[in-house]
Amino acid sequence: MTLNTLRSQLLLVSGELVKVEHRPTLKLPANFLYKDVFEYAIRKIDKLKF
């Protein structure tokens, strides 16, 4: 994947930031085509140690 593809498919997605149990949560559209890829990327980012 190129950076342009990542940007257009994962980062330029309309979503809604809501609070669930006092934690901010990003709600993605129900028909989001790349939901699995997005969730995979989030899991990988969570495993990074800073």
Which residues span the domain enclosing 10?
Answer: 3-47
Number of domains, the chain: 1
Going residue by residue through the chain (50 aa), what tens digit of pLDDT does each one get? Answer: 677 877 777 777 788 899 999 999 888 888 888 888 888 888 898 999 77
Rg (CA), the chain: 12
Predicted structure pTM score: 0.56
Distance of alpha carbon 39 from alpha carbon 50, whole angstroms: 20
Count of C-beta atoms within a 10 Å radius of residue 45: 8
